[in-house]
Structure 1
């Protein structure tokens, strides 16, 4: 029999009832969700979840249903399961939502302050994750879940029963039945009895089992797990976006409540003062009434209608601009953006109140009603949230946003001819076919306004060129502003996939001229691909930077202004790694800093000083010329 099957740690000196050290507050992270018989998902659907995950697909393919299923599982606000959630083409009595989590707590307390952990209780999968299933019977009018832990390698007896649901008396009888002698101190702690039975008898084998956690003895286990499950905050797309929306009012309402608590004594004095004055008026009135009808006057006395004064209801707030325009009179994009951040503030408040549990932000269509610039800013902000404070799940049907997020975060939802939904992720080594599928399903280009496809290596290059072109456009109108002009669509090709994009001519069917910009790098990596594009004869063109990378066009003075450090930037040094060492940041963070903050801070003079041959200006002017030529030729998709 295996040794050390239950490595529970006793509190104090190991005596039951001793005070345990505080259990570490560590919130789980969602890594996988499975859905079956839920809405359009009659067949099982399995989805891997990252810190940032973007669901992309056509309208009504099921993106919102995935976010709703997660919210239902985690019992978030705004979505409650009902009979309509059962799949019409599946078994409505067996709606299944399963979630897998990692980043698990190192210790939990199950038995009278006795510390153990999920692994030693054999509750995990072989991958180290905790898998939980909730089953709902949507054929009933009143629906409540049956909850299971799906253990993969758990000790069970010949009847496939676990020891976890047994009371301490039942465990002692089981030990006696299996002829297991309990040592001193073992018989008072359930975890130690379970370990003794499994280690010292041969009756228990390790097998997969679904353990219900809503029974008497396992309910304690579920209560412990609940402390660490993340909160889910769902922001739906079809809300009114008013400042009287519950999400908007809730944070302000909390502020009102806190302020009222601070002046509770003064409010009591105010209420007493008002009551005294009212009583004086009532007494004078009754005195006069007695003169006319003493019997009626004896029956009447002043009484406050509600003993508890609802002070909070007296305070309603609205948000106004500097011009005194209330938020509900502002544009829909502004209202939605403000409301989204109220939503974030309230989610963070709930998490802090609830033991600092982490948050999963589930946001439907963050691009809705937003200007393209705001779309990009919002996506970058959400990516930053996922890197620092919580997980973010978004749904979108805007293919342009696919280029704003890492390719490994994208999940394409599609359906076959029988309307069975399935999900695809990119092959990180070769995501070209994945991007091609997105283009085919959604249309990579939003409309026929696009004249030129600008192909660069990554999303940071896109942001760099947008900012630089905007600055140059302000002083020279012949240079196109890539951040605003709908004639240009910028596509990140993510380094290694660039070869496939070129070799397979993946964007050929769009019938748009392409302008490719590749880093020179140390090894002239993409020289052959540039040559191939230039030999197409379809008006496309490819250039390589004369400097090592895009970051080598940055002016050091702008770095000083933004980051506070003076670094040397030549045509050939590794600017990103240099700043990584100075700032102590990751490579991705430094690249984002340079493209998002330093590049827009550069002046025209600084751009020209770092680019004396006007290389960037030349690219942009060529791109503008290609757009004009494409328009004259009627080069449309």
Structure 2
């Protein structure tokens, strides 16, 4: 069993959102967008009181008269799941839906879809046996074709409806059944052992999770790895024997004395109350056999210390290691599932450790023999793989007085559809596996993205931004992303824009390619082949951005894309002479070639005198304003 879909209503910053889940689901977005709120809503759904009771402050922007609701749809139901859930999952059901609600008066109810006859729902929800019997009698009278048997008690009515449903499966449908004890994911109920949800918050202390308790990470590992029953039984026998021996000592030491006191006391009592007597004896010894518990400490050389005396980094490493072991040691039951929800998994971690952790958990989820699901709320690109962009959920928040959170996701099918007629569907995956994947993992975190062909454009425009204040583009949340060739622009643009990232792009039409090809000594056949390639690429790019097609389009700065007639360096040499002079001075002073050197181009752009070419100023403005 795994989570397929979640709907959250009126919970903190989430007014009404619906989220699809994968084996790994990565939540990204700016601070305050609601990434952690999603995880905490699920923690309330699964763990209830352990996660803490909700209050009116948890309602979205003071909507205290509206219920808080979290609905979860499960998929990949196993035979064990179906057997445990019974009527809630019949053989024809591919999913199972359950939800938790907090009403405005503070009452929390747990519900699940069961297969049933819809008219019976109102009868089952009646407040008492008399009302149930009357409602059933009314249905019998109004619908004689149902051939319902008579029933004179509430229990008889329930039995009659259940029997009727079992013999009329073709008339059943999904109906909500409300029970306050349905879930109990961590107790003896229908969901116990089927699905285990573990939330690791950013402020979770490893010292707390290292305690041997039922709800802690270490406690869960020990519970699944160690059978304490035999030892606990033996200890219980020792305790009982000790209790009996202690009682015998009391009897031997005090028996005679207490016997005398009893006789004397009864002699006096009988004078006042005939027929009754008293007894004085040693009180029964109360000894309770303790449950076997374990203690975790840290050994550093010859020194052993408690976990809370370690640094934050080591504590987080220990917690992550325990989570990994928890996932590897087995799931919630013999065939149950475990879901790890981790807030800021990169916290306190060395980058290499963070990468290793992300890889291990991804490997665990990709193993079909495991029933493991993982979700992150992260700011780190280490927990995103561009090839798996469909696993990203990007949250954005409007700037209204009562802002609304939106969830953005992109599927491979959606991206291929946007690229129809531009890139062959079979080529999309291969392009993702190329150099574009190295850039997308960072680009998805940007507030705005500027897509360019290569590192030259990237360096020059970062340098132009520096002229307004060093690092000004980065400070504005703008990321310039080189995609290694203009025909990679549509794919990157399609993915980012589908994820809700504002995107601006720029490419050059390579009008001067023929002169460069001739200077390089290329044959006429090669030049003609190159011409066809440029024409094809230019037309596809214009088609993608909705412009009239042309072999070699003219220079243009539009709302979505800027087009240069020829490559950037040619434009710099022709329109910004001081830039070329500054580059030559840098090469002379350093004694190295600065051609295509990204840092050199950024420095030269910052230091060059003279007016910046108008087209570059227009592009920079478009990136900052329209992107």
When normalised by structure 1's length, the TM-score is 0.52
Q: Would you say 1:338 and 2:323 are equivalent positions?
A: no
Q: Would you say 1:241 and 2:206 are equivalent positions?
A: yes
Cα RMSD for the two superposed structures: 6.2
Q: Would you say 1:383 and 2:362 are equivalent positions?
A: yes
8 Å CA contact 1:135–1:146 kept in 2: the answer is yes
Greater fraction of residues in helix: 2
Instruction: Please name the residue that 2:74 is paired with.
Output: 101
Q: Would you say 1:85 and 2:58 are equivalent positions?
A: yes
Q: CA deviation at 1:381?
A: 1.4
Distance 2:398 2:313 in 1: 34
Distance 2:226 2:183 in 1: 37
Q: Would you say 1:59 and 2:31 are equivalent positions?
A: yes
Instruction: Please name the residue that 2:111 is paired with.
Output: 147
For 1:72-221, list aligned pairs within 5 A: 72-75=44-47, 78-83=50-55, 84-105=57-78, 118-119=89-90, 128-137=94-103, 139-140=105-106, 143-149=107-113, 156-157=118-119, 174=140, 177-178=144-145, 180=147, 193-194=164-165, 196=167, 210-214=175-179
8 Å CA contact 1:54–1:394 kept in 2: the answer is yes
Q: Would you say 1:629 and 2:596 are equivalent positions?
A: no
Q: CA deviation at 1:403?
A: 3.9
Q: Would you say 1:262 and 2:262 are equivalent positions?
A: no
For 1:436-585, list aligned pairs within 5 A: 438-441=444-447, 498-500=488-490, 536-537=567-568
Q: Would you say 1:393 and 2:375 are equivalent positions?
A: yes
Q: CA deviation at 1:380?
A: 1.3
- Which one of the candidate residues 381, 392, 413 is aligned to 1:410? 392
Distance 1:324 1:534 in 2: 70
Q: CA deviation at 1:348?
A: 7.0
List per-residue Cα deviations over 1:228-253 (Å, max 9, x = no partner).
85221111111222376443552576
Q: CA deviation at 1:68?
A: 1.2
List per-residue Cα deviations over 1:365-406 (Å, max 9, x = no partner).
111111111121111112122223211111112356434671
When normalised by structure 2's length, the TM-score is 0.53
The alpha-carbon distance between structure 1 residues 624 and 156, as it changes in their structure 2 partners (threshold 3 A), is farther
8 Å CA contact 1:36–1:95 kept in 2: the answer is yes
Higher mean alpha-carbon deviation, 241-250 vs 501-510, is at 501-510
8 Å CA contact 1:163–1:171 kept in 2: the answer is no
Q: Would you say 1:425 and 2:446 are equivalent positions?
A: no
Distance 1:495 1:632 in 2: 23
SS in 2 for 1:413: strand
Distance 2:390 2:449 in 1: 20
The alpha-carbon distance between structure 1 residues 29 and 430, as it changes in their structure 2 partners (threshold 3 A), is same
List per-residue Cα deviations over 1:320-347 (Å, max 9, x = no partner).
2456464444442232121133245457
List per-residue Cα deviations over 1:438-483 (Å, max 9, x = no partner).
3432889xxxxx99989xxxxxxxxxxxxxxxxxxxxxxxxxxxxx
8 Å CA contact 2:312–2:348 kept in 1: the answer is yes
The alpha-carbon distance between structure 1 residues 630 and 132, as it changes in their structure 2 partners (threshold 3 A), is same
Structure of larger gyration radius = 2
Distance 1:233 1:368 in 2: 17
Q: CA deviation at 1:103?
A: 1.9
8 Å CA contact 1:164–1:218 kept in 2: the answer is no
Instruction: Please name the residue that 2:553 is paired with.
Output: none
8 Å CA contact 2:209–2:217 kept in 1: the answer is yes
Q: Would you say 1:34 and 2:7 are equivalent positions?
A: yes
- Which one of the candidate residues 264, 282, 288 is aligned to 1:308? 288
Instruction: Please name the residue that 1:358 is paired with.
Output: 337
Distance 1:163 1:90 in 2: 30
Instruction: Please name the residue that 2:474 is paired with.
Output: none
Can you give the 5+ residue segments of structure 1 that lack an aligned partner in the other structure? Answer: 1-27, 288-294, 445-449, 455-488, 512-523, 540-620
Higher mean alpha-carbon deviation, 625-634 vs 427-436, is at 427-436
Work out the number of aligned pairs and report it.
440
Q: CA deviation at 1:218?
A: 13
Distance 1:108 1:86 in 2: 33
Distance 1:329 1:261 in 2: 34
Higher mean alpha-carbon deviation, 407-416 vs 190-199, is at 190-199
